Amino acid sequence: MKTFKILLLALIGFSLVSCASAQTNKRKPTKKSESKNTKPMNENPILGEVKIIAEGFYESLETPFIYVARSAETYAQLQKIVAQLPTAAEIDFTRTAVVAAFAGTKNTGGYSVSIKKAADKIRIDVVEPPKDAMTTDALTTPFAVALVQVEEGKSLPLEVAANWKNAMQTYKTTSGKFETSGVRVKKFDAAGTIGILTFGDYITLFFNLSGKGADKNWRLTDAASGVIKDSRIDLSPLKASGMLSNNKLSLSFESLASGAAEKFQTRGKIAAVKVR
């Protein structure tokens, strides 16, 4: 009987060791597949359908301007510029951005604004009338407003035609300090340019920033709109605020959510000077 118990215990012990060994071997591939370069932000947008919800030729904006609404608050500001837009309740801002492009004054009719998806960007163009087209001999101000499918927290890179680039003020960073918190805290420097379009109390910033050195994979390629009053900027959806005066720009980013995992947050400050 004792001999039987001893053999039974030995058999159980051998089985436990075998199971432990098998589980250890199963874990090894998982360890090898862990990413070594976790990015603090996911600069790759997930862009879907683009749907025009309003367009026309006689809007009040006489200078080129672009406005991006990614919250009910910023959309309410856009509704003050363009009448008869859908209500905010009809738009899911966790999955949708509203992009409005105003071409400014054109000498004749026949011009229109195009907002389309191009690869991983949204392309905004002015469509000119054909050379042999019959057009109205009157000043027009064409515009278009589109719904763009993009997930909340993802960037919305815009590629704009010369019509808007020529009207844009360009600022170059003189310093950029960012800090990523999550599993561990990491500090890094960033540099790049910021384009700015304004109309009254409205402002849109086009960010083209990237990390330096070993952090060059970090990027902020995005467009954000908000308000500017008494030189103070408020970009609520991007959780950024700052000052714009005397050809100098300063911004503080309270919290940029990571597209990779919600546990990562990026905070930072940038300073820039006007170069064009």
Residue 47: per-residue pLDDT: 73
Residue 2: per-residue pLDDT: 38
Can you name the residues that pair with 180 across neighbouring β-strands? Answer: 186, 266
**b/e sequence 241-262, b meaning 16+ C-beta within 10 Å:** bbebeeeebbbebeebbbbeee
Residue 264: per-residue pLDDT: 62
Q: Find the mean pLDDT for residues 169-175.
A: 98
Q: Range with the lowest mean pLDDT among 8-17, 53-62, 224-233?
A: 8-17
d(CA 1, CA 16): 23
Residue 237: per-residue pLDDT: 75
C-alpha atoms less than 13 angstroms from C-alpha of 89 in its C-beta half-sphere: 0
Q: Residue 102 pLDDT more than 70?
A: yes
Two tokens, residue 103: 């071409």
Q: Residue 120 pLDDT more than 90?
A: no
Residue 94: per-residue pLDDT: 93
Does this model's pTM top 0.85?
A: no
Two tokens, residue 245: 């005066």
DSSP string, 144-181: EEEEEEE-TTS---EEE-HHHHTT-EEEEEEEEEEEEE
Two tokens, residue 228: 């500017």
Q: Residue 248 pLDDT more than 60?
A: yes
d(CA 98, CA 50): 10
d(CA 206, CA 247): 16
Specify burial of residue 86 (Cβ count, 10 A radius: 0-12, 13-18, 19+): middle
Q: Kindly report the backbone phi and psi dihedral angles of residue 261, in degrees, each rounded to the nearest multiple of 5, phi listed first.
A: -160, 140
Residue 36: per-residue pLDDT: 34
Dump pLDDT digits (tens) for 137-154: 899 999 999 999 998 878
Q: Range with the lowest mean pLDDT among 40-54, 105-119, 187-201?
A: 40-54
Which residue would you say has higher pLDDT here, 182 or 36? Answer: 182
Residue 214: per-residue pLDDT: 85
Q: Find the mean pLDDT for residues 133-138.
A: 86
Q: Is the distance from CB of 259 to CB of 153 less than 8 angstroms? A: yes
Dump pLDDT digits (tens) for 36-66: 333 334 345 557 789 999 999 987 799 999 9
